Every structure is written in C-alpha cells, then in structure tokens.
Chain A
Amino acid sequence: MSDAPLLDVRGLGISFLIGGGSVHATQDVSFSVQPGERVGIVGESGCGKTITGLSLLGLLPRATTHVAGQAMFEGENLVGLPLSRMRHVRGRKISMIFQEPMSALDPVFTIGQQIGETILTHFKVDKKQARERAIEALASVGIPSPARVHDSYPHQLSGGMRQRAMIAIALVCEPKLLIADEPTTALDVTIQAQIIDLLMELSAKQGTALLFITHDLGVIAETCTRMITMYAGQVVEDAPVDSALVRPRHPYTSGLLRSLPRLSARGAVLPSIAGRVPTLRDMPTGCRFAERCAHRQEACAAPQVIEPAGGHLVRCWRHGELVLPGALTDREAAA
C-alpha cells in the first residue's frame, strides 16, 4: 500500500440527533481504497455500511447528522465539503448505486432522461450528444435494445434491467470510485451473477475503484482484493481477501466465514451468529463483540484500538494468541 490512495478515510464517526440526544452510529472508521482497487465491506444489518457510503457523498440528512473525521479524496476532504464542491464529485468522481433499483429510479422520468441529466450536469454537451452517450452507456451495461430502453419508464423494465440502467447512470461519467451498496440483494440469483460480472468488467475497463457493500461473502471472495469487516459501527478487521479467507484474525470475521456453507455459492445470506448486536445507546467501552465472542476474557472489556497483525488490521485484544479458522473447505462441508 505504498501508492497514494484514491480515498483515505480516517476516524469517520457518524452520529444522528434523535429526540434531543445523539447516537453514534459509527465510530473511528478508517480504511483506504487504491485507484482501481476493489474493496468489499461486510457486516450485519445495521452496522453502518450504508451510512458510511452515504456520508462520503454527503447524502445523509444534514440537519440531523453529524460526521466527524475525514475522508480525503483527490486532495479534498469529503467530510464537510461545501455543496457547491460536492456536486462536482457526485456522479462525476464518485458514484453510488443502491440496493433497490425500483425505488432508486424516478418513476416519472424515462431512463434516458435520467442518464442524460447526469451527462448534462457534468459535461458541456448538447441534448443530441447526451442522448447518443446515454444509449451508448445503456449498450455498455448489456441492455439488448438500448434505444428502446432509453425511452422507457422504470416500471416498464425488469428488476435486472433497472439495475443495469442504474449502473449505466452511475458509470456514464466514468467516475474514479463506485460505491455499490448491495446492488444485487433485490434481484434473482441468476441475475445477481450477471450484475456482478458486469460491475467487474466495467470497473476493470474504466479503471474505476469499487467499494462493494454486501452481505454476500461469496461475492467478496470472488470479486474483491480486500475485505473490511464492520461490527456495530466499527471496522473490526481489514485484510486482503486471500489471507482473510484462510486465516481471519478477528473472531467475528471467522464466525462469518465459518458458517458460510460453500464459499463459491453466490447469494448465500450473511450467516447468523448467536447473540445480539449491542444497541447504539449502550455500547460497551471495550470490545463490542464481547457479548457474542467465544474467546472473551476479562481483559476484553478494556477500551481497544485497531492494530496491524500479519498484514491485517484487527480490533481484538487476543489477535496475537488466537488461531482462528477461515472458510470451510469443500471436504469439511461434505463431512
């Protein structure tokens, strides 16, 4: 990791003002993404994956959100970036695609209008050129009759087509970074594979870095080079995928990998580990995973930091002593 990172997030903490008080939804989240790198973020529902993505683009509700820390991107701090500057980042340098392709597209405008709008916002082109580029973009995401889809409304397309259109919108300006927030969760399993392959192909072609938020460890194993595990608003492990699969350093990562039936199986939901995530209001000061951890000791209740360990970054008091199992091998699964 010697080259200058494309995105460098340091100590990102998001808190929401609710009913007079504020709750810390994420704390001390740090990671970086190299140009063209594909990084996966996993973690249980509610651990703060989506809001981390949204905060990078300043898309959280301003009035009720406070974001601490910094996120350097091409020499600019995205945290607290004025809207006038942020607008030129959004859709142009960093794009985001969302989980629900149906609700993410405006129902009363055609697909073409929605792509064209992005082009016209960021480039000096006329309507005709914008149309051509939009159709091109639709073709590049593998839509069979791009000209027809260009003039269709979202409700006239299938879920898979909508997500392709959404990807076309996100990539039409060839951004440096694409944040994909569970882009396949709402789709059929067969379509999921196609969309993932498409994202891989396009990001490779355009040199776009990918921040892949997902529940699907299989997808991360297949597509990403690095994987970030989040738990209860914190990064608990940040490691190269290959190494994490074989020898995870955090008990939570290990638990996730252990309960994965077959690594190659796509669409496997994030496995469940017994116990409950602590609520944002009564977070323990020490290890947040302690309540569910089989390796817990007294000392784990002390406040902790994330530390380097064997090429990983780990937030666990016992990472030095524990030897944790990774994903099951096929042989083990058969047994």
Chain B
Amino acid sequence: MSARAILGRLLGVIPTLLITWTFVFGAMRLVPGDPVLLMLQGTPISDSAMEAARAKLGVDRPLVVQYASFLANAAVGDFGDSFRSRQPVTKLIAAEFPKTLELALGGFLVGVVLGTTLGVMAGVRPNGWVDTLCMTTALVGLSLPSFWIGMILIQVFATQLGWVPVLGSGWDALILPSITVGLFLAGGLARLTRNSIIEVMGQDYIRTARAKGLTTVRVVAKHAMRNAMIPPLTLLGIQFALLIGGAVVTETVFARPGIGKLLVQAVLEKDFPVVQGIVVLTTGVYVLINVLIDIAYGIIDPRVQE
C-alpha cells in the first residue's frame, strides 16, 4: 500500500470523528442540571462566584462557540478539568491509559491464540466431534459473564491455589485479567475462523497445494490459515470494541487502575469532563485502530493493494 493511500485512509477518519464527537457534545448538553452546580456537587456558592465559574467553564458563551471550542480542544486533547480532582482530564487519562493498553494487549493475545486455535481445529474437520467440542467451548466463551469468570479465576488461582497475585504491577498480575478479557474475544473469533477455514478448505488452491505433495499440516498452516485470516481480520476492528468493553469490566473486577475504572467512577460521581474525555479518546483510538487494520489487510492480502 502506497504512502499516499495510507495518508488518504488516515484523512478519511476526520469526518467520522467529527460526527462522533458532535454526538458526544450533544449528549453532554442533554445532562439535566447546571454544569456549575454539578461541578460543585452541593457546595453552596455566591452569585458572583457562580458567574465566575460559568465564565471559567465557558458555559456562558453561545452554543456554537462552545461547540467550536469543544472540537478545537478535543483535537488537541484538552478536555478541561475533572469536577472532582480538579486536575486536567488529559493528565488523569494519560496516567491510566498505559494500564488499559497493557490489559487490552494481554487480552488480545489470549483471544487471538485461543480463538484461532479453536477455530482452525473445528474448521479443518467440520461436523466431527472436535468441531462440536471446539464450537461449544467458543459458545461458552461468548456466554460467560466476564465479571463472573474473572471473580472465579481470582478465587481459584489467586486465593485458593496462590499461583498468581491478584494485585501488583508485574506481568504475572496480568495473566488472569488477560484471560478474562481474552475468553470473550476468543469465542467470537473462533466462530469466524471456523467458517473462514471451512470456506477456504474447499477452494481450488487448497487442492493444488495437496496435489503438490505438501503435508496436511503445511497445507493448513500455510495456505489455509493465511487465506482464512483475511475475513476475521476485517472484523478485528469490531473485536477491538469488545476488547475495550472487556477491559472496562475486567478492571473493575480486578480492581486494576485503568481507563475503564476511571470511566465508571466518573459516571457514578457525575464527573462529566472525565466521561467526555474518555469517550472522545476511546472513539479516536478505535477509529485509528480500524484504519491500521485496513492497512494491515492490504499487506496480508496482495489483491487489495491495487
């Protein structure tokens, strides 16, 4: 894929983000109550102080101006100060973001390895007992409440067996949360991979590969998997949304710091600048990831390049 094409894709993101962020802006205006009162959360305030606070928040300006400045600020990553901690939202997010990223990557790894393995095993010999077993496992993965399985994992592997710590910042503390996030991802991915493998295994080029005398393992691992990866990859963007969702819940279960925990906390405390900042950020990251996947797609499938 040429640099030009990549740049084009990246620029194509702008209108999309504009719509998304406009929606966030609109949603935030729908919150009942005066933002200053929300910010003060019950502390009494004089009229003059109120005026000053309104001016500082910028809510005394016309809506259009507020909108423009919201977009301008969002573009440079400025979301104002938290109502609670009075710290810049950007700073709060920046502190938590790496933690969430770590968890998302861990979950991604578990999900992709487990999901692909199950899917390939099921798809190579469809309708056999291996297929049934793998697909039932995948469905269990999709049906397990991640907060529940997270708590059970903690109870069994951390509390009872003591194999891994629950808290801490080491990599071993990341194992259980990653599994929790990964299980759900694996379920969906396994199903996609299975269908894809079944379809690919029926293609002529697989017959050619077998006719050349390759071993079954090579035929599957090289030709089938490379081709079968393409459709699930296009859906990896959607999978990433699951990853974010999984991280939000898992952070709460494992009492891990992170964006998800921050977000839930902010909603409960009506800390709107933080909510707004996190939503804008996650949509931005989400859109960007999808563009990157698009680009990766062009590398795996040579036909896309033209």
Is there a contact between chains A and B in the complex with CB atoms less than 8 Å apart? Answer: yes
Q: Are A59 and B300 in contact (CB under 8 A)?
A: no
Q: Are A104 and B204 in contact (CB under 8 A)?
A: yes
B213 interface hit (Cβ, 8 Å): yes
Contact with A along B205-249 (1 / 0, CB 8 A): 101111111111000001100110010000000000000000000
CB-CB < 8 A to A57: which residues of B?
210-211
B8 interface hit (Cβ, 8 Å): no
Minimum CB–CB distance from A295 to chain B (whole Å) comes to 40
B303 interface hit (Cβ, 8 Å): yes
Q: Are B303 and A153 in contact (CB under 8 A)?
A: yes
A224 interface hit (Cβ, 8 Å): no
User: Which residue of chain B has its CB nearest to the CB of A96?
Assistant: B211
Q: Are A108 and B211 in contact (CB under 8 A)?
A: no
CB-CB < 8 A to A155: which residues of B?
302-303
Q: Are B213 and A92 in contact (CB under 8 A)?
A: yes
Range for the number of chain A residues in contact with chain B: 20 to 34
Q: Return the contact of A104 from the options B208, B213, B215 (Cβ within 8 A).
A: B208
B203 interface hit (Cβ, 8 Å): yes
Minimum CB–CB distance from B205 to chain A (whole Å) comes to 4
Q: Are B301 and A108 in contact (CB under 8 A)?
A: yes
Minimum CB–CB distance from A116 to chain B (whole Å) comes to 11
CB-CB < 8 A to A87: which residues of B?
213-215
A245 interface hit (Cβ, 8 Å): no
User: What CA separation (Å) do A109 and B301 show in the bound complex?
Assistant: 9
Interface majority SS (helix, strand, loop, mixed), chain B: helix
User: What CA separation (Å) do A277 and B162 show in the bound complex?
Assistant: 72
A7 interface hit (Cβ, 8 Å): no
Q: Return the contact of A100 from the options B204, B210, B216, B302 (Cβ within 8 A).
A: B204
User: What CA separation (Å) do A107 and B227 show in the bound complex?
Assistant: 8
Q: Are B214 and A121 in contact (CB under 8 A)?
A: yes
Whether A103 contacts B203 in the complex (CB less than 8 A), given A83-B216, A88-B213, A117-B212, comes out as yes
User: What CA separation (Å) do A131 and B222 show in the bound complex?
Assistant: 19
A227 interface hit (Cβ, 8 Å): no
Q: Are B212 and A106 in contact (CB under 8 A)?
A: no
Q: Are B212 and A118 in contact (CB under 8 A)?
A: yes
CB-CB < 8 A to B226: which residues of A?
106, 108-109
Most A CB atoms within 10 A — which of B209, B230, B303?
B209
Whether A105 contacts B212 in the complex (CB less than 8 A), given A155-B302, A155-B303, comes out as no
User: What CA separation (Å) do A169 and B212 show in the bound complex?
Assistant: 8
CB-CB < 8 A to B302: which residues of A?
107-108, 153, 155
User: What CA separation (Å) do A91 and B209 show in the bound complex?
Assistant: 9
User: Which residue of chain B has its CB nearest to the CB of A179?
Assistant: B211
Contact with B along A157-177 (1 / 0, CB 8 A): 000000000100100000000
User: What CA separation (Å) do A117 and B146 show in the bound complex?
Assistant: 44
Contact with A along B186-214 (1 / 0, CB 8 A): 00000000000000000111011111111
CB-CB < 8 A to B227: which residues of A?
106-108
Minimum CB–CB distance from A132 to chain B (whole Å) comes to 19
User: Which residue of chain B has its CB nearest to the CB of A113?
Assistant: B222
User: What CA separation (Å) do A217 and B213 show in the bound complex?
Assistant: 31
In the complex, which residues 90-125 of chain B have their Cβ closer than 8 Å to any Cβ of chain A? 125
CB-CB < 8 A to A100: which residues of B?
204
User: What CA separation (Å) do A105 and B204 show in the bound complex?
Assistant: 8
Most A CB atoms within 10 A — which of B125, B213, B223?
B213
User: Which residue of chain B has its CB nearest to the CB of A115?
Assistant: B212
User: Which residue of chain A has its CB nearest to the CB of B201?
Assistant: A61
Sample of 8 A–B contacts (CB below 8 Å): A54-B207, A88-B213, A91-B211, A104-B207, A107-B303, A108-B301, A118-B213, A155-B302
Q: Which residues of A contact B (CB under 8 A)?
A: 54, 57, 59, 63, 83, 87-92, 95-96, 98, 100, 103-109, 117-118, 121-122, 153, 155, 166, 169
A-B pairs, top 6 by smallest CB distance, nearest first, are A91-B213, A90-B213, A91-B212, A103-B204, A106-B205, A153-B302
